[in-house]
Amino acid sequence: MRYQAPRGTEDILPAESYKWLKVESTFRELTRRYGYQELRTPTFEDTDLFVRTSGETSDIVSKEMYTFTDKGDRSLTLKPEGTAPAMRALLEHNLCPPGTVARMSYIIPIFRYGRPQKGRLREAHQVGLELVGSPSAAADAEVIEITVRFYEALGIEDSVAMLNSLGRSECRARYREAILQYSATFLTDQPQDVQDKVHKNPLRLLDSKDPAAQEAIKAIPPITDYLEDESKARFDRIQQMLTDANVRYQVAPEVVRGLDYYTETVFEVLSTKLGAQSSLCGGGRYDDLVKELGGPSTPSVGVAMGVERAIIVMDDAGLWDGGTKPDVFVVQATENAFEMCQKLARDLRTAGMATLLDIDGKSMKSQLRQADKSGAAIALILGEDELRKNSVQLRKLGSSVQEEVPMEGVVQRVLQLQ
């Protein structure tokens, strides 16, 4: 039997892994500058963690979770998102005592069952941020700013943050009634399970991809018309701070996000290069989530960014530099040069240069072919003459440049040519 990767998963091959390293290292360096520290949570959690936080009617819980019963008869779920596990860890380890602010980042796999499509796999990967403990509008603006700066750092220049506010409980209660009122005719023709879900959480109707549902909600006023005065002032303040920071954004009342725990600010970042699946990421404020998990009321805001989607956009825009290539290939032109080639390779690596050499005793011609294929910029050749003179033949691959360099100066010469 010939095995293949399960449907909806992908192997990250050596020729492609540099892309992932680029995205991850860019994220780590950017978040380091803003004072975020990395959190790593388990791949699976108690199922109830996601049911309580995402909501029983959410697509994640009702359709997409990979849930299993372990040998101890416990219901566990491969994590479909990163925020709930981060908040569980925050509570378990008291990472944000009252009166303090915690800044956490993560790089994780997520698991969601669904029809695989471009940029949406059953095993996908996310980078994310959680800013916990601050109710300030500046916290929302900071997370949105970092998100847009992340895509800018990757070279994705067409990204824009789409902002909305869901207001507080009174605003959402009034808006739920408005949704039910405007969609009453549509709902009477729907199956009972659809009606039940919408009545339990009417905001989910705004997330529907059903054309009939979209037509039914088209006349509903935007939720921003229902905002409390304090929430409206807060939303205006966020916009002003983003303007001051030169962060691209648009107010988008249609952005509601798909999870129950969001309050006030919600946002997505879009790219014009993803077609119909234009969303690169989404996030928002979730002031009630920690309390829902049994902790104290804790204001929080965060974002999760899809790695695969960022890579797709970078592929389409030609933003890669050709991948990871060695700097130097050391060519052993005679059997007697083995030990010296090994020492030279070690010296080059110690100096910070990626260095390859043949370990199978192949011919010099074969080694030079390997050097060309590897993409190395420089080949260093050691034969009998070079051993006798204590020197190295340095050849710039892809050109006619070749010179003889004393052995004691070869590392410095290679560094000069980089």
**Closest among 165, 98, 163 to 134, alpha carbons compared:** 98
Name which of 240-244, 253-257, 364-368 the model is least confident about: 253-257
In the prediction, which pLDDT does 267 show?
Answer: 95
Q: Tens of pLDDT along 37-47?
A: 999 999 999 99
**Region 27-46 average pLDDT:** 97
In the prediction, which pLDDT does 331 show?
Answer: 97
pLDDT above 60 (res 383): yes
In the prediction, which pLDDT does 276 show?
Answer: 52
In the prediction, which pLDDT does 111 show?
Answer: 96
In the prediction, which pLDDT does 257 show?
Answer: 65
The pairing of beta strand 123-132 with beta strand 75-78: unpaired
Going by pLDDT thresholds of 50, 70 and 90, the confidence category of residue 278 is confident
pLDDT above 90 (res 137): yes
Tell me the percentage of the chain whose pLDDT exceeds 70.
97
pTM given for the model: 0.86
In the prediction, which pLDDT does 378 show?
Answer: 95
Going by pLDDT thresholds of 50, 70 and 90, the confidence category of residue 260 is low
Q: Tens of pLDDT along 87-133?
A: 999 999 999 999 999 999 999 999 999 888 887 899 999 999 999 99
Tell me the percentage of the chain whose pLDDT exceeds 90.
67
Q: Tens of pLDDT along 175-228?
A: 888 888 888 888 888 888 887 888 887 877 777 777 887 887 788 888 888 899
pLDDT above 80 (res 141): yes
In the prediction, which pLDDT does 210 show?
Answer: 79
Q: Tens of pLDDT along 41-94?
A: 999 999 999 988 877 667 778 789 999 999 999 999 999 999 999 999 999 999
In the prediction, which pLDDT does 118 show?
Answer: 81
pLDDT above 60 (res 229): yes
Going by pLDDT thresholds of 50, 70 and 90, the confidence category of residue 169 is confident
Going by pLDDT thresholds of 50, 70 and 90, the confidence category of residue 277 is low
Q: Three-state SS across 239-285? A: HHHHHHCCCCEEECCCCCCCCCCCEEEEEEEECHHHCCCCEEEEEEE
Q: Tens of pLDDT along 144-166?
A: 999 999 999 999 988 899 999 98
Average pLDDT over the chain, rounded to an integer:
91
